Amino acid sequence: MGTATGGRCTWIPRTRPAGSRLYLEGAPAERVWYLKEGTVVLSRANGAGATTRWTLRRPGDLLAPEALVSTGYADTAEALTPVTMCGMARTELDRWLGPTGSPSRTLLSLVLKTRCEETPRRASADGTSTRRLAQWILDEARGGEAPRVPRKVVADLLGMLPETLSRALAKLQAAGAVKADRRTIRVADVDALLRAAGEAQEDTDEDPDPAAETAAP
C-alpha cells in the first residue's frame, strides 16, 4: 500500500486459495486486510437462522475495517478466487493510525461505527429480477466487465434462483445491454443497461421468484 515504517512495509502479504474462509462472523476481530488480488464474498446472518451472501470485495478494498471499532467480525469472508491480502494486526494498525481522540481518528471511528451498524443493502428488495441484475452490473462492473464469480453466487447476492438469474440475463442480452458467455458479463450498451435498471414493474410476463422473499434478510 506504499506505507512503510523504518523502510519496512507494515502490511504483511498473504496468499490464500479459492474457497478459503478468511474470517468468521462473530469471531474476535484481530486483523484488518487490504485486498490486492482476487475476489471475496461477504456473508452475514439474516436474523432468521440463515446466512446470506450480500456483497463482494475486490482489489483495492479493505476487509474487516470493523476490527477498529468492534470486538468481533461483522461478516464471514470467503475467497471466491485465489487472493492476495496485506494484513495488519488490530493493535499495530491502531498505533499506525495515530493518537486516539484526534479529530481524524474520531471521524474515522464514527464512519466505521455507522457502516457496521447498517443492515446490508440487498438488490433483491425492489424491482424485477431484470432490473435488479442491471443495477448490480452497473454497480459492480469495472472496466465494463462484471466480476468473474459463479452465477450461483450472483443469484445469492441478488436474492433469486439461478434459473431466474439466467432469464434476467437473457433479457438484458436481448435488449443489447450486455454480452455474456459462461464466464463473463460485459456491458455492451450503457444506455440500454441504465434503462433496464430504471424500469419499474414493466416485466409483467416475468415469473415471480419464490426465493426472493425468503432470501432477503
Reported as a single tens digit per residue, the pLDDT across 34-51 is 999 999 999 998 777 778
Same domain assignment for residues 177 and 145: yes
DSSP string, 22-55: EE-TTSB--EEEEEEES-EEEEEE-SSS-EEEEE
Same domain assignment for residues 97 and 144: no
pLDDT, residue 177, reads 96
Same domain assignment for residues 73 and 176: no
- The CATH number of whichever domain residue 164 belongs to comes to 1.10.10.10
Same domain assignment for residues 99 and 187: no
Give how far Cα 192 sits from Cα of 31, 128, 143, 176, Å: 42, 16, 17, 7
Same domain assignment for residues 206 and 137: yes
Residues of the chain with pLDDT > 90, as a percent, come to: 55
Distance in angstroms (rounded) separating the CA atoms of residues 86 and 26: 22
Nearest partner of 22 among 42, 6, 45, judged by Cα: 42
What residues make up the domain containing 57?
A: 4-117
pTM of the model: 0.74
- In single-letter form, the type of residue at position 111 comes to V
From 117, 152, 175, the end of a domain falls on 117
Reported as a single tens digit per residue, the pLDDT across 96-151 is 777 777 887 788 788 777 766 665 555 444 578 999 999 999 989 988 999 999 99
Q: Examine the pLDDT at 26 and tell me if it is beyond 80.
A: yes
From 100, 117, 134, the end of a domain falls on 117
Same domain assignment for residues 145 and 48: no
DSSP element (H, E) containing 18: none
From 87, 102, 117, the end of a domain falls on 117
Same domain assignment for residues 58 and 156: no
- In single-letter form, the type of residue at position 94 comes to D
HSE-CB at 11 with a 13 A cutoff on CA atoms is 16
Q: In b/e form, how buried is each residue of 26-35, taking b as 16+ CB within 10 angstroms?
A: eeebebbbbb
Same domain assignment for residues 28 and 106: yes
pLDDT, residue 68, reads 84
Reported as a single tens digit per residue, the pLDDT across 39-95 is 999 999 877 777 889 899 999 999 998 888 888 999 999 999 999 999 989 888 878
Number of domains composing the chain: 2
Q: What is the largest CA-CA distance in the chain?
A: 64
Same domain assignment for residues 101 and 135: no
- The CATH number of whichever domain residue 8 belongs to comes to 2.60.120.10
Beta bridge partners of 187: 178
Planar angle of CA 30, 140, 160, nearest 5 degrees: 90
| Residue with grid cell 464512519, as numbered in its chain | 111
Distance in angstroms (rounded) separating the CA atoms of residues 140 and 184: 13
